[in-house]
Structure 1
Amino acid sequence: MSLPETIVVPLARAMAAKGYKNLTEVQSAILAGDAQGQDLLVSAQTGSGKTVAFGMAIAPTLLEGADRFTEQGAPLALIIAPTRELALQVQRELDWLYAETGAKTASCVGGMDMRTERRALERGAQIVVGTPGRLRDHITKGVLDTSALRAVVLDEADEMLDLGFREDLEFILDAAPADRRTLLFSATVPRQIANLAKTFQKDALRIAATSAASQHADIDYKLVLIPAAERENAIINTLLYFDSANTIVFASTREGVKHLSARLHNRGFDVVTLSGELSQSERTNALQSMRDGRARICVATDVAARGIDLPNLDLVIHADMPTNPDTLLHRSGRTGRAGRKGTCVLIVPMHRRNAVQRVLKMAKLGVAYMAAPTSNDIEARYRESILNDASLSKTPSEDETAIVAELMALHSPQAIAAAYLRQQIAARPAPEELSENMAPDKPGPSDPREKARFETGVWFKVSVGRKHRAEPRWLLPLICKAGGVTKAAIGSIRIFDTESHFEVSTPKAEAFAAAIARNGSGERGVTISAIDGDSPPSGKRTFPKSPRRPEGPVERYDPTASRPERADRAARYGAGPSDVDVVNPRAEKINPKDKGKPKWKDKTKPATASAPGPKKAKVAKKKDHKTKRKPQY
């Protein structure tokens, strides 16, 4: 299929040389007849070819019917991007797209030398690409002349507003000529984007390109549920299992990026990092290392979630799951771009699976559950890769033939093959050991397989109960630590007054019993032992029964009856004399002399022969004039 004739001829030749045969949906919409010369408000997902799309859209406005630029004056187009990496990537794309037009491009991004940028602007550039803050600085200092601008493009406008660049954007757009074209590209169109479009665009044409579902159709999502303590081991095994040419591993914090990259580097991986604390030169070098093959894994924060396009990026791993569905989509969109297939693996601790399910539901993504790759799975992949290595099928060159003959003369083919195998194994990192797969078919607390797992469990008891304030939240760690098992091996926990009973899955019961027999419970005064018998305890609380009411009619209480009758009635029910003797507690206070001494203290001071001490001066208490009462001290 040939490219549409509406594309400017020099750009069409550049795209054909680049291998373009079909246009994406957003690129086709840009070339529609009603979009020519109009302000555009375009919503398109990441990886849909937006850079080439707005490059084609503004070309007729910039060239005005010519095939090449003739003057090197003030800039004609201004492209604004939210991050440095995206701005530099846009510049690279426009360089090859406008190569035959003789266009000069310049970048103005934070973190770079402003003097170099100033000299590039003074030499002249038709297209300027930059970030909002640096562009505003150049305009304020009079370095960037905006008087000749014919088109302004806002790429990833929603991201720029989220990063707090609204004031900078308004300043730049106010400085541009009023008769310019304004093209606004955004993944979504929230209210603030719509308000920005109403303020700075004229009768903008609304174009809604690919949806999130169709955009991510080329991405295969995998969900790996693992214990929280094995997250890093699962990431290592996932990298070894897929063995992708380029991989991005996303972490939520800068400290997480440092820790994970250090762990991967120690395990023999070629790793670079990408986060906001790095300088622009460091970030540029990291991405260049990924492009030229010096590194294969990039551990990054969300600074790399938008706009970064790396060649042969087939795998994205979420080491920390985002809480925002848009962030999840933008992270995952680093792979599966421009028709390529990609894989996205979500490493999720078991206690976070419900929260992750909510994020996936909001993002409208379907995932397939996958067991964390084990050492056996990875060794099988190693074996397959070694046996199918393309270099084994190549014929030796003339320079290699002599050495091959010497090797065959000195060593047997089996020895040579064994040496080759050992070299291949030594060059590959060893996999990590993981516990057995814990991922259910449908995650949730009501999984029927979880109940069936403990139908044949073995019951144990621990010598603490309700009277000792025992609770499952501290009993479970105690049991797991004493028996050397995980919480997946523990079933029901039933707490009684003086002891608690718990269930251990049958495959783990024997090892659990051996561990507690060898090490005990690990707590002073607490013992753990098996319960005799196969039947589990009922778990019902028992209470002492109250005495039965005597037979016969029950006499009602008569307040007019005399007190002696109460003693007779008590005797009838079998009460003893001590139960019916009524003692009036007030009698002792009324007649204290009967007991020999009073029940109260004598507050009178005894007379002494010593001289009385100096009298304390009386302090008049202040009165509260508002309430006319004495204040309470």
Structure 2
Amino acid sequence: MNLFAEMGLPAPLVKKLTAMGIEEPTPIQTHAIPYALDGNDVMGLAQTGTGKTAAFGLPLLAQLMEMRGKPEPKTVRSLILAPTRELAGQIRDALLPLVKDTPIKIGVVVGGASINAQIKRLERGTDVLVATPGRLLDLLDRRALRLDSTRFLVLDEADQMLDLGFIHALRKIAGLLPAERQTMLFSATMPKQMEEIAASYLTHPKRVQVSLPGKAVDKIEQSIHFISKAEKPNLLIELLDKHREELALVFGRTKHGSDKLAKKLQEAGYSVATIHGNKSQGQRERALKAFRDGQVKVLVATDVAARGLDIPDVKHVYNFDLPNVPENYVHRIGRTARAGRDGMAVAFCAPDEMGELKDIQKVMGISIPVASGRPWERIEEPAKPKGRGGPRRRGGKPGHTAGNAGSPGNANHKPGGGRPNRRRRNKGPRQAA
């Protein structure tokens, strides 16, 4: 018997799940779906790749199936907010097979696409609208839709929405929603500010947590190389050469840096695509399709791709640059080991990234196994006299140059060579992905 039927999901939904070969719920689904079906607000915490979309999507669709008639023009019966275009598209794609041959209509509105076409589609009213906060506000400003009759609100990957600076947009959107609604919030991590958001948006929520925040999927084999910044491209090419026919996702920190790295990989003979915030929606979708279909083997991306990419065949994830936000490391490596598969996550650490590495390992509660090199020594700089700019930032330099082989078996890798940065760079405002 399909275990979803025992939760009280309607027979048509259970039948579709069975036809898709889905008969056993994941832990987050097992705990969240019954609460949501009873009309409770739900706060779900689970690591990436554990089935959160179905955890909120199935009870949402089940309740919509009980509603009579069609939505009124420009109204939205249920709203799902996602931080990125890619995640919004993935949510839509996951829900579409479940509403086939039903009156329920699912729409998606994201930046980078024609706003006029989206306005036209919204005129008919929408059962389920999946949206990014920025584009939704644009449409609200143009009076293209109303939220006063929205019965259901879902905040997916809420922690990333906070990280991307959507807090003010979320507050404005929430103020346009009716007080009487069901709200579900799902996240992979629980930063302090999330507790404040939960208190504002949720009413007596049922909290469901199936894994510790910051815990990576157990089937991911992690490793780290301590290597100078200049030698990172050479080491990446050396490692990619070992699995040219397997899909690899490479994360950079900035748009310009990702484009520059992609060019070097192309010069080395790799089929490469890139996605970041400067790419149009069409360019991003074409790059993802080519990667998913195997037409390109390497995808270079900023953190815009850390959430919402569900490509089961990604075997390798490379953190070419360590992320500024430690939780993003967990989301990045969660792009591998999907659907029960094994995966490998390789990180590169330059001297000025020791602070990021320390934060990542603190969040995860582990020490990442060292593949090559030795940890760079962090130096405590003496504080400046008061009134002259305050204490210096901490930097790093190699501890034992002779032991810092950038790559096993390759004498050309010399992370100890050159003059290391003694001060961490002033990061300033984060570059948008």
- Secondary structure, in 3 states, of the residue corresponding to 1:126? strand
Alignment of 1:515-554 (within 5 A): none
Cα 1:268–1:55 change in 2 (3 A) is same
Amino acid at match of 1:25: P
Letter in 2 for 1:42: G
Equivalent residue, structure 2, for 1:236 = 237
- Which residue number in structure 2 is paired with residue 595 of structure 1? none
Residue in 2 that maps onto 1:39? 41
Q: What corresponds to 1:488 in structure 2? A: 402
Asked if the contact 1:323–1:359 (Cα under 8 Å) also holds between the matched residues in 2, the reply is: no
Give the direction of change, closer, same or farther, for the CA distance of 1:244–1:40 in structure 2 (3 Å limit): farther
Residue of structure 2 equivalent to 1:411: none
Partner of 2:190: 189
RMSD: 2.7
Cα deviation, 1:502-552, whole Å, max 9, x if unaligned, reads: xxxxxx9xxxxxxxxxxxxxxxxxxxxxxxxxxxxxxxxxxxxxxxxxxxx
Matched AA of 1:211: L
The answer (yes or no) to whether the contact 1:80–1:154 under 8 Å persists in 2 is yes
Alignment-derived partner of residue 3 in structure 1: 3
* 1:174-213 matches, cutoff 5 A: 174-212=175-213
256 and 273 in structure 1: CA distance in 2 versus 1, 3 angstrom threshold: same
Q: Whose radius of gyration is greater, 1 or 2?
A: 1
For residues 28-177 of structure 1, what are the structure 2 equivalents within 5 Å?
28-32=30-34, 36-64=38-66, 71=70, 73=72, 74-177=75-178
Q: CA deviation at 1:221?
A: 0.4
Residues of 2 paired with 1:201 and 1:137: CA distance?
25
SS of the equivalent of 1:370 reads strand
Q: Which residue of 1 aligns with 2:422?
A: none
2:28 maps to 26
Q: 1:330 to 1:489 in 2, by over 3 A?
A: closer
What CA distance in whole angstroms lies between the structure 2 residues aligned with 1:297 and 1:321?
Answer: 18
Deviation for aligned residue 1:182: 0.9
Higher helix residue share: 1
CA displacement 1:34-59 (0-9 Å, x = unmatched): 86210112222221111111001212
**Within 2, Cα distance between the matches of 1:36 and 1:271?**
47
Please report how far the alpha carbon of residue 137 of structure 1 lies from its aligned counterpart in structure 2 after TM superposition: 2.2
Corresponding residue number in structure 1 for 2:417: none
> 5+ unaligned residues in a row in structure 1: which ranges?
372-438, 446-485, 491-507, 509-633
Q: Identify the range of structure 1 (247-256 vs 11-20) with the bigger mean alpha-carbon deviation.
A: 11-20
Partner amino acid, structure 2, of 1:203: H
Query: For the Cα contact (< 8 Å) 2:316–2:336, is it kept in 1?
Result: yes
Q: Secondary structure at the match of 2:312?
A: coil
**Equivalent residue, structure 2, for 1:468:** none
> Could you tell me how far apart the structure 1 residues matched to 2:42 and 2:356 are?
37
1:389-404 equivalent positions in 2, closer than 5 A: none
Question: Quick one: which amino acid aligns to residue 219 of structure 1?
Answer: I
Q: CA deviation at 1:212?
A: 4.5
CA shift at 1:14, angstroms? Answer: 2.4
CA distance in 1, matches of 2:216, 2:173: 32
Give CA deviations for 1:540-592 in whole Å, capped at 9, x if unaligned: xxxxxxxxxxxxxxxxxxxxxxxxxxxxxxxxxxxxxxxxxxxxxxxxxxxxx
- Report deviation, 1:332: 0.9
Quick one: structure 1 residues 120 and 487, their matched pair in 2 at CA, closer, same or farther if it must change by over 3 Å? Answer: same
Pairs within 5 Å for 1:504-523: none
SS in 1 for 2:339: coil
**1:284-295 alignment to 2 at 5 Å?**
284-295=285-296
Contact 2:312–2:336 at 8 Å: present in 1 too? no
- Alpha-carbon separation, structure 2, partners of 1:314 and 1:45: 18
1:254, CA displacement in angstroms?
Answer: 1.6
* Contact 1:224/1:346 (<8 A) preserved: yes
Deviation string 1:63-104 (CA, Å, 9 cap, x unpaired) is: 22x7xx753543211101111111111111111232243421
Q: How many angstroms does 1:245 deviate by?
A: 3.0
- Unpaired segments ≥5 residues, structure 2: 378-399, 405-410, 412-433
Deviations 1:366-409 (A, max 9, x none): 433335xxxxxxxxxxxxxxxxxxxxxxxxxxxxxxxxxxxxxx
Give the CA deviation at 1:273. Answer: 0.5
Q: Residues 3, 257 of structure 1: CA spacing in aligned structure 2 closer, same or farther, 3 A cutoff?
A: same
| Maintained 8 Å contact 2:47/2:217 | no
Separation in structure 1 between the aligned mates of residue 157 and residue 97 of structure 2, nearest angstrom: 21
d(CA) in 1 for partners of 2:302 and 2:214?
A: 24
Code of the aligned partner of 2:196:
N
From the superposition, tell whether residues 33 and 157 of structure 1 become closer, same or farther in structure 2 (CA, over 3 Å). closer
Q: Which amino acid in 1 is paired with 2:34?
A: A
Deviation at 1:315, TM superposition (A): 0.8
> CA 1:265–1:139 in 2, change beyond 3 Å: closer, same or farther?
same
Per the TM alignment, residue 196 of structure 1 is displaced from its structure 2 partner at its CA by 2.3
Question: 2:337 is matched by which residue type in structure 1?
Answer: G
The equivalences for 1:439-518 within 5 A come to 439=373, 443=375, 488=402
Select the structure with the greater relative contact order (CA < 8 A; seq sep ≥ 6).
2
| Secondary structure, counterpart of 1:217 in structure 2 | coil
For the 8 Å contact 1:225–1:353, the answer to whether it is kept is: no
- The residue aligned with 2:267 is 266
Q: How far did 1:244 drift?
A: 5.3
Distance 2:151 2:161 in 1: 22
Instruction: Give the distance between the partners of 2:23 and 2:215, measured in 1 at CA.
Output: 20
The TM-score with structure 1 as length reference comes to 0.56
Contact 1:8 1:59 survives alignment (8 Å): no
Whether 2:167 is the aligned partner of 1:253: answer: no
Check 1:127–1:183 CA distance in 2 against 1; reply closer, same or farther (3 A cut). Answer: same
Deviation at 1:228, TM superposition (A): 4.3
Contact 2:327 2:363 in 1 (8 A): no
8 Å CA contact 1:62, 1:150 repeated in 2: no
Mark the CA change 1:213 to 1:177 in structure 2 (over 3 Å): closer, same or farther.
Answer: closer
**Contact 2:273–2:287 under 8 Å retained in 1:** yes
TM-score normalised to structure 2 length: 0.80
User: Match for 1:47: what amino acid?
Assistant: G
Cα displacement (A) at 1:174: 1.9
Q: 1:268 deviation in Å?
A: 1.3
Per-residue CA deviations over 1:86-131 (Å, capped at 9, x if unaligned) read: 1111111111232243421111111211111112112343111111
Partner of 1:21, secondary structure, is coil
Query: Between Structure 1 and Structure 2, which shows a larger proportion of strand residues?
Result: 2
Cα separation, partners in 2 of 1:204 and 1:352, compared to 1, 3 Å:
closer
